[in-house]
Every structure is written in C-alpha cells, then in structure tokens.
Structure 1
C-alpha cells in the first residue's frame, strides 16, 4: 500500500511539473510578444508617427491601463463560465496591424528629423485609425491571456498554499526574464534593423506560445465554473438590506447552509454561525418567515456571506495597492522621456536604446525574485521558524518604491543642473539605480499581492484573484493619465521638451504621495485579519 501511494505521489508530482512547465513556456511566448510591442511603443509613436512626447506617454498610459484591465474581465469570464483554459486559448490571438504599420510606409506619416517639432507632419485620420486599431486589438489579445495561465497553474496545486506561492514566484520570474529579452533584443532590432521585423518576431513568438499551451492540455486538472460568483456576492447586501429590521440570532439552526434537505425546498442549518465581523451582513443568511432557497435575493448561505466579507475586507488593501502602482506607472513613462534626452552612449560602439530603459527594472525584479525564493526566504524561515506573510512582503515593497522615487527626484535634479549650468548631457547610466530599486520593490509586493488575493479571496474567484494585480495596474495607469493632465494644467513641470520643465518636482510629488500611501497601508494591514487557508 505504501509503495502504491508513493508511486501515485511521484506520478502526481511529475504531472504537476509538466503542467507548470507548459504554463511557463506559454507565458514566455506571450510575454516576449507583448514586451516587444509595448516596450518601444512611446518611441515608435514619437519617431514614426510624429506624436509629441507627453501625448505619447498619455496614449501609453491608456494602452497599459487597457492591457491590464482586460485580464480582469477575462478572469471574471473564466471563473464564471468557461474556465481559465478556454478563455486563455480564445484570447491567444494577435493582430498583425502593428507589423503592417511598420512594413507599409503609407500607413505612417512622412519621417521627420526633428521629432516633436511643430514642423513635423502629423498623422492623417487614416494613419491614426490604423495605429489606434492596432493598439486596441493587441491590447485585447495580450490582456485576455496575460494572467489566466497563472490561475490555471495555481489550480494544479489545490489546498497547497506553499506550492502555489512557489508557482507564483516563478510565474513572475518567467514574465520578467522573458520581458528582458523582448525589451532588449526585439527593441534593438526595431531601432537598428527594422520595425517591421521586430513586430513580426512578436507575432511568431505568440504563435509558439499558443502551440505549447495546446500541447499541455492533457496535463491540466479539469475546471468546473459554477456561474457568476459576483452575482452570488451581490445577493448578500441586497438580502441584508431587505431584512435589516430582523434581529440576529446566536443559534446555529437559524442560519442557512448551502446543503438542502431531501427535497431541496428547505435550507439546512450550519454547525456554526457567521462571524461577528461585518455582522450587519449576517442577516442575509438568517432564516426568517417566507425565506426559501428559491429566493436567493432574500436568503443567502453562510458561505456566501463569509465570501462577501472576504471581498469587502480586502478592499482597503486593494486601494493602497492602486496608490502604490501610480508612482511606478509615472516613473516608467518619465524614464523613457529622460532616456531620450540623455547620453545613451555606453562604450565606443554601443548606444543604449531609450525604449529598453525599462529592462533595468525587469532585470532587478528577476534577480531579486530568484534571491528571495532561493536564499532570503529559506534563511528567514530557518531563523524565525516561519515564512514571511504576504502583507510583510508588500510592506517592504512599499518602502523600496518610496526610496526609488527619492532617488529619481535627486537624479533628475542633478541632470537639469548639469544641462543648464554646464551644458552637459547626463549619462543614461544614472537612471539605473532608481529603476533597480523599483524592480526590487516589485519583487516583494507583486508576488505578495497575487498570493494574498489568491489565498484570501473566495475559491470561486481564483482566476479573478490572480488577475487582481492586473486590475490594480490598469486603474493606476488610467489615474496616472489624469494625474499627468492635472500636473500639466496646474504647472509648467511637464512640457513636451522636458529639458525646460521640472520633472524633478514631479518625482518629489510622488515621494510625498508614496509616503502618505505607506502610512495608509500600515493602517490597513494592522486591522486586516487573515482568513484560514
């Protein structure tokens, strides 16, 4: 019997390894394609479509926001109706319009030497249409398949949070390492060989990822979507309000459980009562005269009530994460604009492409993810006897992000001083430390957030929970667009030519913003109660 069990465990372990491997390969193909398209998008719009720099960053904000909101919508559909595999497969297509716009000259305005100048010919309505349609279609395709493989992979390790955390860690390692290749190799090809060739390589990479995804189908554990979990959650406040005058009971027999009696018309009691936290909503599961399981908008189960409490309990942490992502989004765009006006020459024969500046953040995140998983976390566990909680990891990420904004402000202040006092252009290498700090912060807070949402939100929202980080980033990019517009309207800090602006003041604003948000996060984390996993 023991030999049989051992054999079954080995077989299951091998199956899980195969499943994890196919997910990583799929994510690799998808990430290489998306990073090759998005990393150089601002430069592409400025240099090939004669779009002014700040306008290009605003478009990039909307693109990144959309690309990060689509995964959340795809996850809801996956959890509710079709499952992660089907949604990921249906989303695994890419428009070739980007490649066409890079190949056919008539789809772009005439090349202008002085990019951003008023003398440059702006795109025609048709050319704008081609560009924005290509962006929209690619955003939908990339977004729909971005995080559903993550949920599908985590679902292969049911009831094993440790393995899920390891999977999420290496899921992000794969994303970042491959994004480095896309943000360097493909960007180099676009800048120095051909934009069209770079975009066609992205299309081929995506195709390979889809093929690998299909090959691994036989290893995946089956999924059984149970309808929209959001509808079940919405019933709780409705039922609570309808019975707001009812007195709560301390008897377990007065509350509804998901199981019914023999004919399914009378709800069965649960052995426990709903928790006292957010006790107003306990009325939704309270059995009163006229209640029946056939009236779900009047009577909910204790499980549904507790699931609803999990969601509203995590909302404050969710908002703090959105505020954490806003400075990161702003720094990402401003770093590219800074790189365009800085000295990119590294050595006698290599000029660092501005579109690849974000790769420093990716490299830093990848390195720190590996160190955390293989060195720091095992050492922490050995010394303390426990692993760090997701909230602790997120907190460290807040601190590192705050420091990254401080360094960004100091570097930009020094760059402007050198430019105006000495008429010298600062080396692009000065941008590396701030991006390295931001990358280290992401290594702490991104996997920490994914693990927190996946383990603390209801199981019926497994895909949605892994895409929650995408929702956060998407909202942050949209808010960043509004923040940029506000800064431009109320100050002269962000002109199209940042050499005559005060980007350093923008960074100091983000320092203050990050500091206030960290205090807010500490308050939220202090009062948050972990649910039993």
Structure 2
C-alpha cells in the first residue's frame, strides 16, 4: 500500500513538473530571440500581431513611395526627359533590377552584423536624408546589443532629393512647363536620388519582412498558424500601398505636380518611421550570429578533408549539438539522405559511371528554341566540348554528411573547443544542403520575374497609347491601370487565406492547405495566361484603325491575371525563401526572393537588346520608336512560350523536393490536453 502511494506521489510530482515546464515554455519564448532589453521575451507582451502591425505599417508607406515612383517613371522619362521608349524601358528595368538586387547586401549585413531592427531604421532614414558630417548610433536594444553606425558627408538622398529636384529652380527639369531640352543637372540629380532609394530599399526590404516574421514562434502551435497568415496580410498591406501609389500619387504627379507628390511621400515615410520606432518595446529581436557564409565554408572544407571516409549507416553517429545546449544553439535540423535537386537528371541505380551532357548542346538547343519563336534561322554556338555537366556532381557527394563524421581521437566535447574547419555539426551540413536545394527553384522562378517586369514598363506604355477616359470629363493617368493588378492580388490573397486555406487544410491535412511550391506553381500558370492575353490585346490594338480610341480597360485581363499570379507566386516565394533558408540567413532569404524580381528585370533588359538585334537585321525590329511601330505582341508570345517551357521544368523539380525538417523543441499544449496528460500520469 505504501509503495503504491509512493508511486502515485512520484507520478504526481512528474506530472506537475511536466505541467510547469509546458506552462513555462508557453509563457516565455525560447527561440533564441530577445526583447528590447536583451532578455528572454515574455510571450504575452511581445511579438505576434501587436508587434507585426507596427512593422506592416512602415511597409505600407515604403510600397506607397516605391510604386508611386516606379510605376510612373517610364512616363516621366519619355515625356519630361524625352527618352525614346527603348531607352526609357532599359533605364527603368535597370533601376528596378538594382533596387531589388541591393537587398542581397542589406540582408547579409543584417544577418551578420547589425540586426534587422537597426538595418530597417537606418535604411528607412536613407529614404529621407543623411545627416551632414554626423555619426548616428541606431541601437538595437537598450543594453548595448549590436547597432549600426551611420556616417555620412552628403546631406540629401532619396525622397528628400527627389522633392528638392522639383522645387529648387536650378534643379528643375527646365524653367517652362513643357521641357524641350531638360537640364543635364536635373537628370543627374534624378538618377542619384533614384539610386539612393535603391540603397535604402536594400536594407529595408529583406530585413523588414523577416523581422515581422520573427515575431512568431515556429515551435508554438498557434503562433505558427498565425505566421502562415502573416505573409498573406503583409502582402495585403503591400497591395494597399501599391494601389494608392499607382492611383492617388500618380494622379497628383500627372495632374497636379511631381513635387507635391514627392512631398506627400516624404511626409508619409517620416510619420511611419516614428510609428515603427514607437513599437520597439513589443518586438522580438534576433542577435546577429556573424557571417552566414563562414559556416558554409567550414562545411565544404571539412567535407573535402574527409572526402575519403565512408558515410556511417546510422545518422546518430554524426556530430551534433548535445541536448544540454539545444536552447542556446537555436533550432536543429534533422538528417536527410540526399540532395534531390543537385543533379540535372536522375541516374538509375545500376549505372556504373555518371553520364555527361555537353554544354554546347544545351546552349544550342535553348538558342534555337528562341530563334524558332522569333523566326530566325538556326544558330550554332561553338563552345569547347570539354565543358560538361555531370549528372552526379562531386561537390554534392562531398557535402553528404562528410563534414559531420567523427574520426578516431577527435575532440567532440561541446564545452571544449573543436576545430570547425575539420568537424561541423549535422545541422550545419543540412543547412548547406538547404541552400543547394534552393538553387534550381530560384533559377526556375526567374521567368516569372521577367513577366513582372513588363507590368511597370510595356504595359504602362500600352496604356499611354489608349483612351484613358472613365467618363467624358475624367481620365486616369496611364500608370493607374497598374492598380488592377493590385486589386486582383488583394482579392486572391484574401480569398486564399480566408476561404481556400481552411477548406484545403481539411482536405489535405496540411497546415498550409497546399505546400509552398504548389502555390508558386499555380501562380506560374497564371503568368503564361497573362502573357498570352497581353499578346492578343496588343494584336487587336495594332490592327485597330484608331488605337487611341481603344479603351484602356482592354488591358484589364492581363493585369488582373498577372495580379492573381502574384498572389500565388510572389507570396509563395516570400514564404518559401524565408522558411526554407537556415534560421541565421532569414534576411538573406527574403533578399533571395527579391533577387528573382531583380534578375527578372535585368533579363528583361537583356532580352530586349537581344530581340531588337535579332529582329532588327531585316529592318523590322520588334521595338520601334513608339508602340505603333513595334511588335510587342510577338514579344509577349515569346515570354508566354518561355514561361510555359520553364513551368514544365519547375514541375519536375517541385515534385521531388524535400522540405526543411526541423527538430521541434516543445509542443505547446492547451489547458485541456495538459490536464489529460496529468490525469494519465497519475492513473
């Protein structure tokens, strides 16, 4: 009897201890984040929506500013600076490309050195101004966590410089309302201002979105579900800013003054920066862990050193962070057997040696497919036949766990220093695999970025040649037609989050409803349809006796369809690159997503040059002085074909993709399940 009572007491004590542990985990956030004073964050008073709303607010104003400038920039360049359509499109594409490639630098600096909060605050200030010959410290937290030091000798950048270029007489395009020959000084000041905005965006975009996602704990069931909605509502706010930017701001630019529009954007950005800073007590912060590239290099060096060692049959024999240090080392990754996308094709198990594909054959096939579409004869590119793609890349085989193999007499004590250039943890190895796995997905996303680039360039120029009247007495600016894409994206994001996801969760058992890559693929299908619709509309416009009498709302289908595609692919890419990168690289992850749009813009500029060169040989270039002498319909068909071919490749990659597999530290239970577990322990 006494023994039975003793067992009950022990069971009760164990259950009580377990309950206290679960409650403690539920009260505090143990995901390696800290609060604004450098302490473990209290779940009830930090993070989740109360923090992310401050962050979403500044994203709204940044997108308002960016799209208010970017969407109408081609109109400004062609009408005020008198650039031809080809030059203006290349300038806009190049600026958009630089703006969206800069986040790779900003994301790296934030992850490695400054922290996301500091980088967001600094880059937002760049939008407005730099202090003359001053050094300003922007603290991450009050207890001296890493901060960014801003030193500057110039005194105006970004929106402030744009605003001054419209108000200061000597900086204006010219002294008259209609410029016949714009001042060179204005042109220089304009592009300096634009590229300073690119620098500001470089720190703002990758850090702000990832900083917002950091406010949700992946190991907490409810917060994890809210985080899935966060990306949808982030893009909802983005689209609201976009919508106002391409309607209200563009209207002010075209019918009131460019200077007034720039002044409104400057004041709005200043107000939201103050709002963002006011929320600092509610944020959860990630402490920078140093360069994320160093651990990757350590894995590769260690793998090369141990390349001749056999892989152990049991992954438990590989080196990993001990249980006693898991909380201090962040989330751990579970072992995976192989890299699914590191090979160009799957080899059969019976193959004795890898097969090779000549780069010359691959390049010639791609060029001749494009040549066939544009109507040119076959082109032969002579490349050294020694250049070959191997279906089984030796680097991939080396990465397969070699760096985490424990040799005899090797120091494996976590408390004592071990050589990370010779022995790395299994988690570090898996992080390298994650990056290698993402490269093919990134590459096959570029054609979607190519389509996105058309919406702010050629689509807008199409609108400028059509009837812009909504009523007899009211007409819209050409760039405002871009708002249809924003409305479509708003609708698709809302319907997806509030209607489709709950239904799909029940049908598939997946927390997300459908997996991320499926969502991205659906958007890619929309891009093919959008480019086809654009080609058909442009064909009709060119055949019209009076193209200028054709309503601008003929462009609605291509904008709306592409907007639906954005709601699936762009939001999916944001979630994919944030979720699937190593935890220490999440700002860079968002930068990878932005680089899809950036490289898409660069490819668009390059493709225009190539197509213009190829089709111009016969005197019938697809890009003339204006749209009426161009053949944009053929260019759109080319884009549709490229996206269709790319979609097939993407589908094969997505089908066999292996997602990030994280070792969960704790499963947060509600009160009912907790009491049931206590009762079962005492039974």
Is the pair's TM-score, using the shorter chain for normalization, greater than 0.5?
yes
Distance 2:123 2:650 in 1: 35
Do structure 1's residue 100 and structure 2's residue 167 form an aligned pair?
Answer: no
Do structure 1's residue 133 and structure 2's residue 189 form an aligned pair?
Answer: no
Distance 1:58 1:209 in 2: 32
Distance 1:123 1:366 in 2: 40
Pick the aligned partner of 2:287 from 194, 212, 224.
Answer: 224
Change (3 A) 1:423 1:452: closer
Q: How far did 1:245 drift?
A: 2.5
Pick the aligned partner of 1:311 from 435, 441, 448.
Answer: 435
Change (3 A) 1:102 1:272: closer
Please say if residues 42 and 355 of structure 1, whose CA atoms lie closer than 8 Å, have aligned partners that are also in contact. no
Please say if residues 72 and 250 of structure 2, whose CA atoms lie closer than 8 Å, have aligned partners that are also in contact. yes
Do structure 1's residue 388 and structure 2's residue 514 form an aligned pair?
Answer: yes
More helix by share: 1
Distance 1:358 1:136 in 2: 23
Distance 2:183 2:429 in 1: 54
Distance 2:56 2:595 in 1: 22
Match of 2:398 in 1: 280
Pick the aligned partner of 1:38 from 58, 70, 76.
Answer: 70
Distance 1:297 1:73 in 2: 25
Q: How far did 1:238 drift?
A: 2.7
Pick the aligned partner of 1:509 from 605, 613, 638.
Answer: 638
Query: 1:435-460: CA deviations, max 9, x gaps?
Result: 00000011011121222222222111
Please say if residues 250 and 273 of structure 1, whose CA atoms lie closer than 8 Å, have aligned partners that are also in contact. no
Please say if residues 173 and 187 of structure 2, whose CA atoms lie closer than 8 Å, have aligned partners that are also in contact. no
Distance 2:451 2:118 in 1: 35
- Structure 1 residue ranges without an equivalent (≥5): 263-269
Do structure 1's residue 418 and structure 2's residue 478 form an aligned pair?
Answer: no
Distance 2:486 2:397 in 1: 44
Q: How far did 1:414 drift?
A: 0.3
Match of 2:259 in 1: 196
Distance 2:315 2:450 in 1: 46
Distance 1:104 1:44 in 2: 18
Distance 1:513 1:253 in 2: 45
Please say if residues 179 and 359 of structure 1, whose CA atoms lie closer than 8 Å, have aligned partners that are also in contact. yes
Do structure 1's residue 348 and structure 2's residue 486 form an aligned pair?
Answer: no
Change (3 A) 1:273 1:528: closer
Change (3 A) 1:299 1:37: same
- Superposition pairs of residues 8-87 of structure 1, within 5 angstroms: 12=44, 16-87=48-119
Distance 1:354 1:73 in 2: 34
SS at match of 2:217: coil
Change (3 A) 1:289 1:123: farther
SS at match of 1:529: coil
Please say if residues 493 and 502 of structure 1, whose CA atoms lie closer than 8 Å, have aligned partners that are also in contact. yes
Q: How far did 1:250 drift?
A: 2.7
Change (3 A) 1:404 1:273: closer
Match of 1:446 in 2: 570
Please say if residues 80 and 173 of structure 2, whose CA atoms lie closer than 8 Å, have aligned partners that are also in contact. yes
Q: How far did 1:242 drift?
A: 3.1
Do structure 1's residue 404 and structure 2's residue 530 form an aligned pair?
Answer: yes
Match of 1:267 in 2: none
Q: How far did 1:222 drift?
A: 2.6
- Superposition pairs of residues 142-157 of structure 1, within 5 angstroms: 142-157=201-216
Change (3 A) 1:122 1:33: closer
Match of 1:240 in 2: 303
Query: 1:301-324: CA deviations, max 9, x gaps?
Result: 211111100110121111111122
- Superposition pairs of residues 311-350 of structure 1, within 5 angstroms: 311-350=435-474
SS at match of 1:92: helix
Match of 1:460 in 2: 584
Q: How far did 1:466 drift?
A: 2.6
Pick the aligned partner of 1:531 from 660, 680, 683.
Answer: 660
Change (3 A) 1:443 1:272: closer
Q: Which has the larger radius of gyration?
A: 2
Q: How far did 1:5 drift?
A: 5.8
Distance 1:365 1:65 in 2: 22
SS at match of 1:256: coil
Match of 2:613 in 1: 489
Distance 2:548 2:73 in 1: 28
Match of 1:166 in 2: 229
Q: Give TM-score scaled by structure 2 length.
A: 0.71
Please say if residues 365 and 442 of structure 1, whose CA atoms lie closer than 8 Å, have aligned partners that are also in contact. yes
Match of 1:121 in 2: 181
Q: How far did 1:123 drift?
A: 4.4
- Superposition pairs of residues 254-269 of structure 1, within 5 angstroms: 255-259=318-322
Match of 2:487 in 1: 363
Query: 1:152-186: CA deviations, max 9, x gaps?
Result: 11111121442221111100110011210111111
Query: Aligned-pair RMSD on alpha carbons?
Result: 2.9
Query: 1:267-308: CA deviations, max 9, x gaps?
Result: xxx998763445531222223468666533333221111110
Match of 2:414 in 1: none
Q: How far did 1:251 drift?
A: 5.1
Farther off after superposition, 140-149 or 522-531: 140-149
Match of 2:648 in 1: 519
